[in-house]
């Protein structure tokens, strides 16, 4: 019979100890984690970025990734969006009793691969097991710290009229890939999630210009919500052009079927940069050299009025407001 | 052929827009019946690119919006029957009835599931043989055939716990009612695309012949709408009124015979209540007596209580095309998508939601 996670795996006793040793420490091998002290202890000097996020994606395995890869990339990207070089992550599991051990090991292996690519170490962690029905298979929380290089000062309130808005690639891949495997909905698509660690891309962008004003990854709520957040924080208007925004034909098709607008569909490996016009070309050029920025494109610019609003020029040449996402994305009925 | 991006090409749109501008001389008001069309019109700012001669008004073609409060109350009351599982399309969950909504009933313990097709509802019945599963049959001719198919399948498989609350509505009778009321003078009708996929273009003939109103069936992409408007303008300028199809990739004049057959096998026309319009004879569908055992209303004795309409909400006038959302004192003030007062703000295909979400008229 297949090995399952039991409540005892989270009890702190022998089973728990074995799980941590065999499934986590061995896979995620690094000296800081292997000490198994109550805290990871390390030296850092400089300006630190510190962030946390919880991951509850359903299903936990989806085309192009799984909850483990997502938990690393999501937190790494939050650090990167502050301009920080991600260094260390914590990793905490809340496991529903009955999860198969092999699925858990697969997730931990994804954590290892993603952390390796992102150049971060998992230095501390925790495991809890809850009774069946108290969680949905597996929830993960990660927190991370990163170091911000000298001269970098990135924040959502720094967009200025005249700045250019750069998007790193096609939108909507993650949301649609996950939806395509959701229970009761599955449809056939070759689409894969864009889930990826963006620390390297950001480092290369900062390598050519430290004047980047805003960086943000358009995750939940999609590009539309991210641009609205930036417009509102910076008290500026963001003007974008519909025909410049890359969307894959598969995403367009699925969105039509489900009644979604790709502007609101989640991404996990894309970023939006708002940069001074004079630096836009060199930043774009640097992005295009990176595999996660090869389709980067300038989608619009920042204007003074109306503040807090995102206005899109449609493919017909008319203009419309792009608002924040309200509630959940739900399908239409006819 | 790419069925989406090909129909959003800006250079083709530019050509159509100048063609419309060039030949439209007569002032005309066109109504888009369907909520899906309303969304495309707002999402692509189509009203802004049309010449001043053309006025577009939105019609009652959002099935969620036209569902009367009394019927919403029935659905909510059904959800509160112990043991009942409600299966419904997503948008219905948030719509406020007289006193509650499915969302609130769910938070209070009712089992309300969002499904993406009637077959998912049927599967829920198969998987839970000891619980009655009620599918909320909301929608126009587009969805009715799939509901009919689910009932036939339930019968074939001997599934005894599957029920449908049939609140289906038929489009041609309500258009006749609107035209007879004479509140809105129309110079053309953008006929619904998905509905026509099922019923074809013939059922619109009476509008052209009896009322002298040009009719063009349209698809849902911006180029579809522009082509449709261009064809309507063509008829207006020539003084013609006939039914044309600008959505040939989806619609045949005779419709989808198989789907119509399923619908006729299971349902028969019945009176239906429309929000803002009232009861319209022959504009609803009820289960034929042979299939009455699948009828949720026959199976459960539901008492939803008196109907209360939201104070100040003018959804009814908006659905008839008599008023626009900006005429409503509640619009964007007490009524927003986050806390909607009326259904036109809840449904993604509602006029109020489209006005609000796409900030029509702000311009660049």
Inter-chain touch A249–B2, beta carbons under 8 Å? yes
Task: Tell me, yes or no, whether B210 lies in a domain.
Answer: yes
Average pLDDT value for residue range B207-236: 97
From A124's Cα to the closest Cα of chain B, the distance in A is 37
Which residues of B are less than 8 Å from A252 in CB distance? 4-5
Inter-chain touch A316–B45, beta carbons under 8 Å? yes
Give A252-265 as a DSSP string: HHHHHHHT--GGGS
* Domain definitions of chain A by residue range: 7-148, 164-322
Distance, in Å, from the CA atom of B315 to the CA atom of B297, rounded to the nearest integer, reads: 27
The residue of chain A nearest to residue B44, with distances taken between CA atoms, is A314
Q: Which residues contact A85 (CB under 8 A, 6 or more apart)?
A: A79, A119, A146, A147, A148, A149, A199, A203
| B161 & B175 share domain | no
For residue A29, pLDDT over 90 is answered with: no
| B160 & B189 share domain | no
Weakest-pLDDT range from A147-156, A215-224, A320-329, B13-22: A320-329
For residue B232, pLDDT over 80 is answered with: yes
The residue of chain B nearest to residue A260, with distances taken between CA atoms, is B348
Into how many domains does chain B fold?
A: 3
For residue A21, pLDDT over 70 is answered with: yes
The partner residue sitting opposite B363, judged by closest CB among A243, A315, A319, is: A319
For residue B364, pLDDT over 70 is answered with: no
Distance, in Å, from the CA atom of A138 to the CA atom of A62, rounded to the nearest integer, reads: 14
Q: Kindly report the CATH number assigned to the domain that includes residue B105.
A: 3.40.50.11740
| B16 & B39 share domain | yes
Q: Kindly report the CATH number assigned to the domain that includes residue B232.
A: 3.40.50.11750
The residue of chain B nearest to residue A324, with distances taken between CA atoms, is B357
Bridge partners, residue B272, by sequence: B280
Interface-testing mutation among B358, B360, B361, with chain A (most A C-beta atoms within 10 A): B358
- Please identify, in words, the CATH class of the domain defined by A164-322: alpha beta
Average pLDDT value for residue range B143-157: 96
From B361's Cα to the closest Cα of chain A, the distance in A is 8
> Residues A230, A156: contact at Cβ < 8 Å?
yes
pLDDT value of position B363: 37
For residue B81, pLDDT over 80 is answered with: yes
Query: Which residue matches tokens 């790494």?
Result: A76
The residue of chain B nearest to residue A333, with distances taken between CA atoms, is B89
Bridge partners, residue A48, by sequence: A147
From A180's Cα to the closest Cα of chain B, the distance in A is 12
From A4's Cα to the closest Cα of chain B, the distance in A is 25
Q: A62-120, pLDDT tens digit by residue?
A: 999 999 999 999 999 999 999 999 999 999 999 999 999 999 999 999 999 999 999 99
From B190's Cα to the closest Cα of chain A, the distance in A is 16
Claim: this prediction has a pTM higher than 0.90: no
**Domain extent for B148:** 68-170+257-299
Q: At what angle do helices B35-43 and B222-238 cross, to 10 degrees?
A: 100
Which residues of B are less than 8 Å from A301 in CB distance? none
* Average pLDDT value for chain A: 92
From B143's Cα to the closest Cα of chain A, the distance in A is 7
What's the start-to-end Cα distance of chain B, in Å? 33
pLDDT value of position A328: 63
Task: Tell me, yes or no, whether B225 lies in a domain.
Answer: yes
B296 phi and psi angles, rounded to 5 deg = -60, -35
| B201 & B322 share domain | no
For residue A326, pLDDT over 80 is answered with: no
Q: Which ipTM was obtained for this model?
A: 0.81
What Å distances lie between residue A255 and A58, A220, A226, A251, CA to CA? Answer: 19, 16, 19, 6
| B236 & B287 share domain | no
Q: What angle do CA B213, B219, B225 make, to 5 degrees?
A: 65
pLDDT value of position B90: 83
* A180 token code pair: 């395509």
Q: B7-46, pLDDT tens digit by residue?
A: 888 899 999 999 999 999 999 999 999 999 999 999 999 9
What Å distances lie between residue B114 and B41, B128, B181, B358, CA to CA? Answer: 28, 16, 37, 26
The partner residue sitting opposite A332, judged by closest CB among B2, B338, B349, is: B349
Homologous superfamily of domain range A7-148: PurM-like, N-terminal domain (3.30.1330.10)
3-state secondary structure of A5: coil
> Residues B216, B232: contact at Cβ < 8 Å?
yes
For residue A296, pLDDT over 80 is answered with: yes
Task: Tell me, yes or no, whether B305 lies in a domain.
Answer: no
pLDDT value of position A325: 81
Q: What angle do CA A306, A309, A311 make, to 5 degrees?
A: 95
Which residues of A are less than 8 Å from B13 in CB distance? 315-317
Which residues of B are less than 8 Å from A319 in CB distance? 45, 48, 362-364
What Å distances lie between residue A155 and A141, A210, A292, B47, CA to CA? Answer: 24, 13, 22, 37
Which residues of B are less than 8 Å from A185 in CB distance? 116
| B132 & B176 share domain | no
pLDDT value of position A113: 97
| B127 & B139 share domain | yes
The partner residue sitting opposite B138, judged by closest CB among A321, A330, A333, is: A333
3-state secondary structure of B3: coil
Q: B189-206, pLDDT tens digit by residue?
A: 999 999 999 999 999 999
Between residues B242 and A191, the one the model is more confident about: B242
Average pLDDT value for residue range B157-178: 96
Q: Which pLDDT band holds residue B156 (cuts at 50, 70, 90)?
A: very high
DSSP state of A324: P
Quickly count helices (H) and strands (E) in chain B.
17, 11
Q: What value does the CA radius of gyration of chain A take, rounded to a whole number of Å?
A: 21
pLDDT value of position B137: 95
| B26 & B83 share domain | no
CB atoms within 10 A of CB A153: 13
Q: Which pLDDT band holds residue A334 (cuts at 50, 70, 90)?
A: very low
Average pLDDT value for residue range A274-283: 98
| B339 & B231 share domain | no
What Å distances lie between residue B173 and A130, B204, B256, B271, CA to CA? Answer: 56, 10, 19, 10
Inter-chain touch B143–A333, beta carbons under 8 Å? yes
Interface-testing mutation among B17, B35, B41, B44, with chain A (most A C-beta atoms within 10 A): B44
For residue A330, pLDDT over 60 is answered with: no
Inter-chain touch A333–B44, beta carbons under 8 Å? no
For residue B361, pLDDT over 50 is answered with: no
Average pLDDT value for residue range A208-227: 96
Q: What value does the CA radius of gyration of chain B take, rounded to a whole number of Å?
A: 21
Inter-chain touch B13–A333, beta carbons under 8 Å? no
In this complex, how many residue pairs, one in chain A and one in chain B, have their CB atoms less than 8 Å apart? Answer: 117
Which residues of A are less than 8 Å from B348 in CB distance? 259, 330, 332
What's the start-to-end Cα distance of chain A, in Å? 46
Q: Which pLDDT band holds residue A259 (cuts at 50, 70, 90)?
A: confident
Task: Tell me, yes or no, whether B307 lies in a domain.
Answer: no
Q: A47-68, pLDDT tens digit by residue?
A: 999 999 999 998 999 999 999 9
pLDDT value of position A22: 82
Which residues of B are less than 8 Å from A258 in CB distance? 116
Average pLDDT value for residue range A280-295: 98
Interface-testing mutation among A172, A318, A325, A329, with chain B (most B C-beta atoms within 10 A): A318
Task: Tell me, yes or no, whether B185 lies in a domain.
Answer: yes
DSSP state of B301: -
Q: Which pLDDT band holds residue A321 (cuts at 50, 70, 90)?
A: very high
3-state secondary structure of B289: helix
Q: A114-169, pLDDT tens digit by residue?
A: 999 999 999 999 999 999 999 999 999 999 999 999 999 999 999 999 999 999 99
Q: Which residues contact B182 (CB under 8 A, 6 or more apart)?
A: none
For residue B354, pLDDT over 70 is answered with: yes
Task: Tell me, yes or no, whether B267 lies in a domain.
Answer: yes
Of all residues in chain B, the percent with pLDDT exceeding 90 is 82
- Which bin fits B338, alpha (ψ -120 to 50), beta or left (φ > 0)? alpha
Interfacial residues of A (vs B; Cβ cutoff 8 Å): 184-185, 239, 243, 249, 252-253, 256, 258-259, 261, 306, 309, 311, 313-321, 323, 326-327, 330-334
For residue A186, pLDDT over 80 is answered with: no
| B218 & B83 share domain | no
| B161 & B265 share domain | yes
| B163 & B276 share domain | yes
């Amino acid at each position: 019979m297949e090995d399952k996670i039991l409540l005892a795996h989270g009890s702190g006793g022998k089973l728990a100890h074995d799980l941590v040793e065999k499934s986590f420490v061995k896979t995620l091998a690094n000296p800081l984690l292997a000490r198994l002290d109550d805290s990871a202890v390390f030296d850092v000097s400089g300006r630190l970025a510190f962030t946390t996020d919880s991951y509850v994606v359903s299903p936990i395995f989806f085309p192009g990734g799984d909850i483990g890869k997502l938990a690393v990339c999501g937190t790494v990207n939050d650090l990167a969006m502050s301009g920080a070089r991600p260094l260390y992550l914590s990793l905490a599991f809340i496991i529903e009793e009955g999860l198969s051990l092999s699925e858990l090991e697969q997730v931990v292996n994804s954590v290892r691969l993603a952390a390796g690519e992102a150049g971060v170490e998992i230095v501390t962690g925790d495991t809890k097991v809850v009774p069946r029905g108290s969680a949905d298979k597996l929830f993960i929380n990660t927190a991370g710290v990163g170091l911000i290089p000298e001269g970098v000062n990135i924040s959502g309130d720094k967009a200025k009229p005249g700045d250019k808005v750069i998007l790193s690639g096609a939108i909507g891949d993650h949301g649609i890939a996950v939806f395509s495997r959701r229970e009761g909905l599955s449809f056939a698509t070759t689409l894969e999630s864009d889930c990826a660690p963006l620390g390297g891309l950001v480092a290369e962008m900062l390598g050519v210009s430290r004047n980047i004003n805003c960086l943000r990854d358009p995750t939940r709520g999609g590009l539309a919500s991210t641009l609205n957040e930036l417009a509102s924080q910076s008290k500026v208007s963001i003007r974008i052009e519909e025909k410049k925004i890359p969307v894959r034909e598969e995403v367009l098709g699925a969105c039509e079927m489900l009644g979604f607008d790709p502007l609101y569909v989640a991404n996990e490996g894309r970023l939006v940069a708002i940069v001074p016009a004079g630096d836009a070309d060199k930043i774009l050029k640097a992005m295009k050299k990176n595999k996660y920025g090869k389709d980067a494109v300038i989608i619009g610019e920042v204007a003074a009025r109306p503040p807090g609003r995102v206005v899109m020029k449609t493919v017909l040449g008319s203009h419309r407001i792009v608002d924040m996402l309200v509630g959940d994305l739900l399908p239409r009925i006819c | 052929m790419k069925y989406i991006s090909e129909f959003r090409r800006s250079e083709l749109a530019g050509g159509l827009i100048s063609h419309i501008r060039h030949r439209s001389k007569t002032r005309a008001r066109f109504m888009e019946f369907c909520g899906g069309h309303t969304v495309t019109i707002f999402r692509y700012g189509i009203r802004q690119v049309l010449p001043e001669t053309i006025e577009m008004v939105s019609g009652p073609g959002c099935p969620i919006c036209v569902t009367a409060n009394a019927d919403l109350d029935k659905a909510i009351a059904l959800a509160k029957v112990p043991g009942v599982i409600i299966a419904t399309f997503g948008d219905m969950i948030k719509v406020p009835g007289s006193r509650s909504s499915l969302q609130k009933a769910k938070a209070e313990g009712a089992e309300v599931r969002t499904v993406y097709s009637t077959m998912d509802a049927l599967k829920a019945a198969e998987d839970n043989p000891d619980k009655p599963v009620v599918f909320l049959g909301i929608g126009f001719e587009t969805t009715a055939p799939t509901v009919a198919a689910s009932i036939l399948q339930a019968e074939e498989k001997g599934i005894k716990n599957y029920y449908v609350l049939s609140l289906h509505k038929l489009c041609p009778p309500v258009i006749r009612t609107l035209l007879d009321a004479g509140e809105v003078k129309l110079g053309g009708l953008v006929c619904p695309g998905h509905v026509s996929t099922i019923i074809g273009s013939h059922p619109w003939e009476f509008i052209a012949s009896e009322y002298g109103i040009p009719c063009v069936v349209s698809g849902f992409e911006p180029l579809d709408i522009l082509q449709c408007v261009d064809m309507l303008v063509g008829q207006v300028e020539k003084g013609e009124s006939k039914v044309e199809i600008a959505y040939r990739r989806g619609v045949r004049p005779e419709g989808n015979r198989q789907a119509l057959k399923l619908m006729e096998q299971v349902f028969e026309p019945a009176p239906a209540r429309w929000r803002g319009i009232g009861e319209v004879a022959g504009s609803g569908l009820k289960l034929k007596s042979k299939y009455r055992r699948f009828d949720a209303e026959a199976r459960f004795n539901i008492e939803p209580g008196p109907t209360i309409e939201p104070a100040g909400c003018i959804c009814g006038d908006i659905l008839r095309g008599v008023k626009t959302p900006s005429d409503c004192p509640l619009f964007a003030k007490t009524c927003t998508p986050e806390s909607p007062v009326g259904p036109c703000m809840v449904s993604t295909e509602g006029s109020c939601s489209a006005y609000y979400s796409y900030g029509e008229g702000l311009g660049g």
